[in-house]
A and B are shown apart, each in its own frame.
Chain A
Amino acid sequence: MRCDHCLLEFPEREAVRQEVDGAARAFCCAGCAAVYRVIAGEGLGAFYAARRWDEPGPAAPPGGADPAAFAGLLRDAGPGAAEIDLAIDGIRCASCVWLNERILSRTPGVLSARVNYATHRARVRFDPGRVGLEAVLRRVESIGYVPRPWSESEQGRVRAAEEKDLLVRLGTAGFLASQLMLYTAALYAGYFQGIDPPTRRLMEWIALGLALPVFLYSGAPFLRAAWAGLRHGRLGMDSLVALGSGAALVLSVAQMLRGGEVYFDTAAMIVTLILLGRYLELRARGRASEAVARLARLAPREARLVAPGADGREERRRVQVAAVAAGERVEVVPGERVPLDGVVEEGESEVDESLVTGESRPVPKAAGSAVIGGSVNLHGSFVFRVTRVGKETVLAGIVRAVEEAQARKPRIQAVADRIVGWFVPAVLVLAAGTVAAWLWRGAALDRALLNGVAVVVIACPCALGLATPLAVLVATGLATARGVLVKGGDVLERLARVTDAVLDKTGTLTRGRPALRQVVPLGDLSAESALRLAAAVERRSEHHVGRAIAEAARALPGAPEPGVEGFRAVPGRGVGARAGGEAVVLGNRALLAESGVALPAGADAAARRLEEQGETVVFLAAGGRAAALLAVADAVRDEAAAAVASLRALGLRLAVVSGDDRATTAAVAARLGIDRAVPEATPSGKRDGVARMQAGGRRVLAVGDGINDAPVLSQADVGMAMGRGTDVTLESADAVLVRDDLRLVPEAVRLSRRAYRIIRQNLFWAFFYNAVALPLAMAGLLHPIVAAAAMAASSLFVVGNSLRIRSGAGPAARG
């Protein structure tokens, strides 16, 4: 779909549809729509008429937001001021934010308006005495954006609070640790140059005073988790952190009393660096899920109810989908999604059910046919009676399947956790061994214990806390820049280890909309002039097959298309017109037979052959004689072959699954050289197929875009959704391709493998540096400077190594 103002190509689901001067227009964003209105309003609309455009979209009738829904959100903000948070739908870019802020802050009575760039939340403060809430809402609507009550999901609120809490703890630890470093440096200097005991005592007390809050306040999350882990007999990362920093603290206090060296800086540094790692991880994960949630929010949740109004006449009202009951009548206009399951009562149309069932060809609908919620109405309005709502709909059934698959999905343990699982007991054994060895050699108990604790201190690598989050942060940042949203570090890890890729056909390997495949001349017209003639007629058609033919002719050089008059469309059959002085008919066999056109020998067989391959055949007749066959089919994406080749080069086994019939699926698989094809797969069938592969020890990556793919995406080790997918699909996926480019799939796999390799290197070296210092600790020779140096060296290494992910990445693929 193309924006009527700026001609930008954009996914249809994002369209902003408006009626300007009585004509329906579609825009990529409300900013463009507003500019269009201004230009048209100034009487300069001729500018647009001078341009050629393709698909003016139908308008969604304007329905103002109901201020009652917002009333509960109003907050008192001091004398003569109220504040409200609005979620503004339709914001796509910085200009949209600017436009909304300006239009609101220029409204008399509005004190301030601020729109958050990341979340699209507008915080509006206004004087209720001078301007009403309704006026504020209408103001936003006047420029084409849709204000909604700002409701944060419980999950989102918890995450935001957690992030803030962690930031305060991290900042506190950072400040205290840097202060602590000053006194520690003084103590180091004292060790080499001599220091008088009272000064040293003072420094040590201050260091203790600074380290304690770091351990008790900033380290509280670790202490809590470690305590919980201890009671359940699980030793994880948190136990290691609590153990390491706690041991350093205890050791230092003991040393203070004995007059030995102190390790307060080590205790504080462990907590600080691991908190930093936690924070980075939370941020990286939060940002990706936010972006995905925003993509998903674009889906309409309203239905147009047809019901008798107060005066007894039929009336159309926009209501929330949840408010529609079975037995009520709902209208669907072209381009809209069918909101619920039901049976058509009036009107006829064709519906794209590919997202729900995987069937790529449009399904004709007339009175009596069943429609499925979630499918897209292509052309023609219809009214249907709702038969199923809520949990009974086909869509809800698929959502249930997704939830089941997600509940069953085993949570993979991150590499770091796996290592820590055996590392902690090993350290404890080593510490106990150290104590025993010292006692055996005749050392005093306190001396032996001190050395044992020193082993625990040095073994705790604080670079461990940074090893994974840093690599994940760099890798997800890079992935986002390329157009892949990854919902967490564990996804990268799973993606790096997949062995199989299952690709959905419709909308993933193919474009999901028909394109002209070939023209077979039957008479004396050449293929090129036949196409030109067909395109001239079809240009007036609204049918998607007609559009595919018209689109194909655009690439032809030279000669102008013949003039067309007397265009008529025969629903379900084809079109006819007079073009170039001849009667032209375009359509199926029935239309040709009706028009009295005989097919030449062999033409019918050729058409059947094409149809067996899953293509739709359109017959062209001119002047009463058959002139050509035009084959139209859902075309394989241009980049699919390259993407498939790269995936194979990465060592993955490939398979195609589809809800389509055997012939169509096999044709696509053969074209791409994939030998495993599973046709006629139901959503649960796809899921079970993947589950079987997993039972056989394979780790599966699934790529899809439809609602019907959602169960398989959640079942697979990694589910990847195309950005044009529906909200159900986006939510069930682990990663989302923002750009509609299949080559991002192998690129994401490659990136994740590099990140995984770097994570393992990081972990190895994080342990290695500390392992080198271990013998010193066991021998009782551990000096604070050695402990600090080992920590700094391993942390620096981890930071530098993680940045290598960026430099190792090739140039971004551009599509």
Chain B
Amino acid sequence: MWSVGFLIILSLALGLAAWLLFVWSVRSGQYDDPEGPKYRMLEDDEAEEERRRRRPG
């Protein structure tokens, strides 16, 4: 019985954590632009810019 209770609490806690994560992601606008990421993935000059930023001058 104790183990069942423990598992129930664990699963409810995990569910709650996932739900909070979800609400945060909606509020922070993660779903506002579903088109962008597939193009941004193809932009390969990020790395180069990073390098330039790290080496000032």
Q: Which residues of A contact B (CB under 8 A)?
A: 94, 97-98, 116-119, 164, 167-168, 171-172, 175-176, 178-179, 182, 198-199, 202, 206
Q: Mark B23-36, 1 if CB is under 8 A from A, else 0.
A: 10011000111111
Considering only CB atoms, which chain B residue lies closest to A115 in the complex?
Answer: B36
**Chain B hits for A168, CB < 8 A:** 22-23, 26
Q: Is there an interface contact between A172 and B19, defined as CB atoms closer than 8 Å?
A: yes
B49 to chain A minimum Cβ distance, whole angstroms, is 8
A250 to chain B minimum Cβ distance, whole angstroms, is 24
Instruction: Kindly identify which residue among A117, A164, A172, A182 contacts B39, using a CB–CB cutoff of 8 Å.
Output: A117
Q: Is there an interface contact between A98 and B43, defined as CB atoms closer than 8 Å?
A: yes
Q: Is there an interface contact between A199 and B35, defined as CB atoms closer than 8 Å?
A: no
B34 to chain A minimum Cβ distance, whole angstroms, is 7
Q: Is there an interface contact between B39 and A179, defined as CB atoms closer than 8 Å?
A: no
Q: Is there an interface contact between A116 and B33, defined as CB atoms closer than 8 Å?
A: yes
Q: How distant is the Cα of A179 from the Cα of B17 in the complex, in angstroms?
A: 13
Q: Is there an interface contact between B34 and A118, defined as CB atoms closer than 8 Å?
A: yes
Q: How distant is the Cα of A118 from the Cα of B22 in the complex, in angstroms?
A: 22
Q: Is there an interface contact between A164 and B26, defined as CB atoms closer than 8 Å?
A: yes
Q: Is there an interface contact between B1 and A116, defined as CB atoms closer than 8 Å?
A: no
A-B contact pairs, 25 of them (CB 8 A): A94-B39, A97-B36, A116-B32, A116-B33, A117-B33, A117-B36, A118-B33, A118-B35, A164-B27, A167-B26, A167-B31, A168-B23, A168-B26, A171-B19, A171-B23, A171-B26, A172-B19, A172-B23, A175-B15, A175-B18, A179-B15, A182-B11, A199-B1, A199-B4, A206-B12
Q: How distant is the Cα of A198 from the Cα of B5 in the complex, in angstroms?
A: 12
**Chain A hits for B4, CB < 8 A:** 199, 202
**Chain B hits for A176, CB < 8 A:** 15
Q: Within residues 33 to 57 of chain B, which ones have a CB less than 8 A from any CB in chain A? A: 33-36, 39, 42-43
Q: Which residues of B contact A (CB under 8 A)?
A: 1, 4, 8, 11-12, 15, 18-19, 22-23, 26-27, 31-36, 39, 42-43
A-B contact count (CB 8 A): 49
Q: Is there an interface contact between B39 and A98, defined as CB atoms closer than 8 Å?
A: yes
List of 7 A-B pairs having minimum Cβ-Cβ separation, nearest first: A117-B35, A94-B39, A117-B36, A116-B33, A175-B19, A171-B22, A179-B15
B6 to chain A minimum Cβ distance, whole angstroms, is 13
Q: How distant is the Cα of A168 from the Cα of B33 in the complex, in angstroms?
A: 17
Q: How distant is the Cα of A190 from the Cα of B33 in the complex, in angstroms?
A: 46
Q: How distant is the Cα of A179 from the Cα of B11 in the complex, in angstroms?
A: 8
Q: How distant is the Cα of A167 from the Cα of B23 in the complex, in angstroms?
A: 9
A661 to chain B minimum Cβ distance, whole angstroms, is 47
B8 to chain A minimum Cβ distance, whole angstroms, is 7
Q: How distant is the Cα of A97 from the Cα of B38 in the complex, in angstroms?
A: 13
Q: How distant is the Cα of A118 from the Cα of B39 in the complex, in angstroms?
A: 12
B16 to chain A minimum Cβ distance, whole angstroms, is 9
Considering only CB atoms, which chain B residue lies closest to A171 in the complex?
Answer: B22
**Chain B hits for A98, CB < 8 A:** 39, 43
**Chain B hits for A206, CB < 8 A:** 8, 12
B11 to chain A minimum Cβ distance, whole angstroms, is 7
Contacts A116-B36, A199-B4 aside, 4 further interface pairs with beta carbons under 8 A come to A168-B23, A172-B22, A175-B18, A178-B15
**Chain B hits for A172, CB < 8 A:** 19, 22-23
**Chain B hits for A164, CB < 8 A:** 26-27
Q: How distant is the Cα of A153 from the Cα of B27 in the complex, in angstroms?
A: 21
Considering only CB atoms, which chain A residue lies closest to B16 in the complex?
Answer: A175
Q: Is there an interface contact between B15 and A97, defined as CB atoms closer than 8 Å?
A: no
A210 to chain B minimum Cβ distance, whole angstroms, is 9
Q: Is there an interface contact between B22 and A175, defined as CB atoms closer than 8 Å?
A: yes
A740 to chain B minimum Cβ distance, whole angstroms, is 24
Q: How distant is the Cα of A284 from the Cα of B1 in the complex, in angstroms?
A: 48
Q: How distant is the Cα of A25 from the Cα of B15 in the complex, in angstroms?
A: 59
Q: How distant is the Cα of A220 from the Cα of B27 in the complex, in angstroms?
A: 20
Considering only CB atoms, which chain B residue lies closest to A168 in the complex?
Answer: B26
Q: How distant is the Cα of A167 from the Cα of B22 in the complex, in angstroms?
A: 10
Q: How distant is the Cα of A117 from the Cα of B41 in the complex, in angstroms?
A: 13
**Chain B hits for A117, CB < 8 A:** 33, 35-36, 39
Q: How distant is the Cα of A164 from the Cα of B27 in the complex, in angstroms?
A: 8
Q: Is there an interface contact between B39 and A97, defined as CB atoms closer than 8 Å?
A: yes
A809 to chain B minimum Cβ distance, whole angstroms, is 23
Q: How distant is the Cα of A167 from the Cα of B31 in the complex, in angstroms?
A: 10
Q: How distant is the Cα of A199 from the Cα of B22 in the complex, in angstroms?
A: 31
Considering only CB atoms, which chain B residue lies closest to A167 in the complex?
Answer: B26
**Chain B hits for A175, CB < 8 A:** 15, 18-19, 22
B53 to chain A minimum Cβ distance, whole angstroms, is 10
Q: How distant is the Cα of A116 from the Cα of B35 in the complex, in angstroms?
A: 8
Q: How distant is the Cα of A762 from the Cα of B22 in the complex, in angstroms?
A: 31
Q: How distant is the Cα of A116 from the Cα of B30 in the complex, in angstroms?
A: 12
**Chain B hits for A118, CB < 8 A:** 33-36
**Chain A hits for B22, CB < 8 A:** 168, 171-172, 175
A694 to chain B minimum Cβ distance, whole angstroms, is 39
A92 to chain B minimum Cβ distance, whole angstroms, is 13
A166 to chain B minimum Cβ distance, whole angstroms, is 10
Q: How distant is the Cα of A179 from the Cα of B9 in the complex, in angstroms?
A: 12
Q: How distant is the Cα of A175 from the Cα of B8 in the complex, in angstroms?
A: 15
Q: How distant is the Cα of A179 from the Cα of B15 in the complex, in angstroms?
A: 7
**Chain A hits for B18, CB < 8 A:** 175
**Chain B hits for A182, CB < 8 A:** 11
B2 to chain A minimum Cβ distance, whole angstroms, is 12
Q: Is there an interface contact between B23 and A179, defined as CB atoms closer than 8 Å?
A: no
Considering only CB atoms, which chain B residue lies closest to A174 in the complex?
Answer: B22
**Chain A hits for B34, CB < 8 A:** 118
Q: How distant is the Cα of A500 from the Cα of B10 in the complex, in angstroms?
A: 63
Q: How distant is the Cα of A515 from the Cα of B1 in the complex, in angstroms?
A: 86
**Chain B hits for A97, CB < 8 A:** 36, 39
Q: Is there an interface contact between B36 and A179, defined as CB atoms closer than 8 Å?
A: no
Q: How distant is the Cα of A97 from the Cα of B33 in the complex, in angstroms?
A: 13
Q: How distant is the Cα of A94 from the Cα of B42 in the complex, in angstroms?
A: 10
Q: How distant is the Cα of A98 from the Cα of B35 in the complex, in angstroms?
A: 13
B44 to chain A minimum Cβ distance, whole angstroms, is 11
Considering only CB atoms, which chain A residue lies closest to B22 in the complex?
Answer: A171
